[in-house]
Amino acid sequence: MSILVNADSRIIVQGFTGSEGRFHSEQMIAYGSRIVGGVTPGKEGTRQLDRPVFNTVDEAVKATAADVSAVFVPPPFAADAIMEAAESGIRVIVAITEGIPVSDMVRVKQYLRDRPARLIGPNCPGIISAGKTKVGIMPGFVFKPGRVGVVSKSGTLTYEAADQVVRSGYGISTAIGIGGDPVIGTTTRGALALFMDDGETDCVVVIGEIGGQLEADAARWYGQNPKKPVVAFIAGQTAPKGRTMGHAGAIVGGAADTARAKMEIMAENGIHVVASPADIGKRVAEILG
């Protein structure tokens, strides 16, 4: 099986006819992703990339049986787009949009709480099951099929970690970019739990960063559920307190938010922590032998 998406996933793109939506849809199709249509209000009845365009997600789902959505909707409208997808029965919602207001995402989190939809992102590169499908903006050529999972807050470091794993003689089962905003859908712990139960994943790489408690929560959970080895790197080891570094959520507010504190908690819970991203592939190879 795959984590969340696979070759059979039926994908729609919200914001399909916008420049970002069109460009990345082309890349997804080229990778082999099964895009079955798109949504742009007012464009119903037209076609793009030889796929139908619908006014609403509900219409798209009824016509195509889509179960995954990629959201490329501008920030002011993205929260409504996510909730519309959930209301229409989409199983996995991948929100690529950057700059969604935190207040909007608080509303989205509350809305999704009692619904079966899983949100990835926002402000994320998406998800890729290597050799099967990708939903988002990840460069597909980096991700060769294998049995190492990746969960990351950083898009760039996701690609770097995957490349190192591949160069070390292994490959990627699924990589999830969870996003670095203060309020996101799937957390580090949530993604790690999925990998622990995945029959096609033997080891997991976790890329975290300063700010928040997602990595510490995941580490403590893993300490009670160490089914597979985990290699981790935390970015921002030299970041000053009180300054946002890169992502909106990457800010040290207290001692527990620092890279050093997170690294110590991870190590205490049995995770193989590396000090440099350059060591990720080598450590994976040492573990898997």
Q: Where do we find the tokens 């939506």?
A: 21
- Distance separating alpha carbons of residues 116 and 111, to the nearest angstrom: 11
Strands 203-209 and 230-235: parallel
- Is 247 one of the annotated active-site residues of the chain? yes
Phi, psi of 253 (to 5 degrees): -105, -15
Strands 145-152 and 203-209: parallel
- Which residues touch 108 (CB under 8 Å, ≥6 apart)? 79, 82, 83, 119, 183, 185
- Distance separating alpha carbons of residues 121 and 183, to the nearest angstrom: 9
The one catalytic residue in 24, 189, 247, 283 is: 247
Question: Which residue from 194, 161, 141 is spatially nearest to 32, judged by alpha carbons?
Answer: 141
Question: Which residue from 48, 75, 255, 159 is spatially nearest to 263, judged by alpha carbons?
Answer: 255
* Active-site annotation, residues: 247
